[in-house]
């Protein structure tokens, strides 16, 4: 099979969203991931025709083929507070619309934390909130759900739980639903192993059983500072964490992962090295 994966990283939009493609190009990115607004809160920078044209020109100039959008960190569909859930629904819809203007293929989102409320109730709220975000949406950008590391009461750390959310919201019935973003650090922290050929096959088999490999659309590629199953979201440079270079190679060289793009979220200071490691894995896949 021809390897289709393109490699990139999350880059800053400081000074204007149109600066992101050049920043990615400097590090050797073929695709990029961005926030379109502050991940911590505050008003979103306006995206008008002038901004869109300038951004797309920079994408072409820097030979960046795709832009993926990460939603803000304050998204929490599982919150005990109705206002927080309603805000999450609104922001997801706004990011889908902004992504459609910019020509983004996917946005991806964390699902939130249940806090002290019943987990099953929180999961139900997540499914319903996601469905509300997608209702009557007709744009081109699609929504991906990101696998979580499962710290505390964070939702979405198992394939079974994600399946339940998809089913509760009937998300497959919406044209704006794209599928799943598989974060390697998060999955490893949640107990999914891919450090050997056999464990990789087992993990992919479980994903296919509960979610379906046809819904695997993107991967965040991060090694893990923590041990398998420790539920800690702590990214490490490729090959320097508990997954290791062999583990990263096993999962990324698997047939399903050859079909999707690989986006780094490792610290910036050694990102060019990480990108070169991924390109070496891709060559050997």
Distances (CA, A) of 148 to 25, 33, 42, 56, 205: 28, 18, 24, 31, 19
Q: What is the C-alpha end-to-end distance of the chain, expressed in Å?
A: 10
Percent above pLDDT 90 for the chain: 94
Confidence of residue 257 (pLDDT cuts 50, 70, 90): very high
Helix axes 197-210, 159-169, angle to 10 degrees: 20
Each residue of 76-87: pLDDT tens digit? 999 999 999 999
Confidence of residue 245 (pLDDT cuts 50, 70, 90): very high
Give the fold, CATH level 3, of 7-284: TIM Barrel (3.20.20)
Each residue of 29-55: pLDDT tens digit? 999 999 999 999 888 999 999 999 999
User: Is residue 247's pLDDT more than 90?
Assistant: yes
Give the residue-averaged pLDDT of 58-62.
Answer: 98
Confidence of residue 240 (pLDDT cuts 50, 70, 90): very high
Name which of 133, 215, 211, 219 is nearest 174 in CA terms. Answer: 133
Q: Is the pTM of this model over 0.85?
A: yes
pLDDT at residue 284, as a whole number: 83
β-bridge pairing 216-221 and 261-264: parallel
Each residue of 149-170: pLDDT tens digit? 989 899 999 999 999 999 999 9
Q: What mean pLDDT, rounded, does the chain reach?
A: 96
User: Is residue 232's pLDDT more than 70?
Assistant: yes
User: Is residue 1's pLDDT more than 50?
Assistant: no
Contacts 24+ apart (CB under 8 A), 24-30: 24/62, 24/64, 25/62, 25/63, 25/64, 27/271, 27/272, 27/275, 28/272, 28/275, 28/276, 28/279, 29/64, 29/275, 30/6, 30/63, 30/64, 30/65
Name which of 156, 141, 152 is nearest 110 in CA terms. Answer: 156
pLDDT at residue 4, as a whole number: 85
Q: What is the rounded CA–CA span in Å between residue 206 and residue 209?
A: 5
């Amino acid at each position: 099979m021809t390897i289709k994966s393109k490699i990139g990283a999350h880059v800053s939009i400081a000074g204007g969203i149109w600066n992101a493609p050049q920043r990615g190009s400097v590090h050797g990115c073929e695709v990029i991931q961005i926030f379109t607004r502050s991940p911590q809160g505050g008003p979103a920078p306006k995206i008008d025709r002038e901004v869109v044209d300038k951004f797309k020109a920079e994408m072409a100039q820097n030979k960046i083929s795709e832009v993926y959008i990460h939603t803000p960190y304050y998204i929490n569909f599982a919150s005990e507070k109705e206002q927080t859930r309603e805000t999450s629904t609104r922001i997801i819809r706004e990011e889908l619309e902004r992504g459609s203007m910019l020509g983004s293929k996917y946005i991806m989102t964390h699902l939130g934390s249940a806090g002290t409320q019943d987990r099953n109730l929180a999961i139900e709220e997540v499914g319903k909130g996601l469905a509300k975000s997608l209702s009557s949406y007709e744009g081109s950008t699609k929504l991906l759900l990101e696998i979580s590391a499962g710290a505390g009461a964070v939702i979405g750390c198992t394939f079974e739980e994600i399946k339940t959310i998809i089913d509760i919201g009937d998300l497959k019935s919406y044209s704006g639903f794209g599928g799943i973003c598989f974060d390697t650090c998060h999955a490893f922290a949640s107990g999914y192993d891919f450090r050997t050929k056999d464990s990789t096959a087992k993990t992919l088999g479980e994903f296919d059983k509960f979610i379906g490999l046809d819904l695997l659309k993107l991967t965040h590629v991060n090694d893990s500072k923590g041990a398998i199953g420790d539920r800690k979201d702590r990214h490490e440079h490729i090959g320097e964490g508990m997954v290791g270079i062999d583990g990263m190679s096993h999962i990324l060289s698997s047939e399903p992962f050859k079909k999707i793009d690989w986006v780094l979220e490792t610290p910036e200071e050694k990102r060019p090295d990480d990108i070169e490691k991924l390109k070496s894995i891709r060559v050997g896949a």
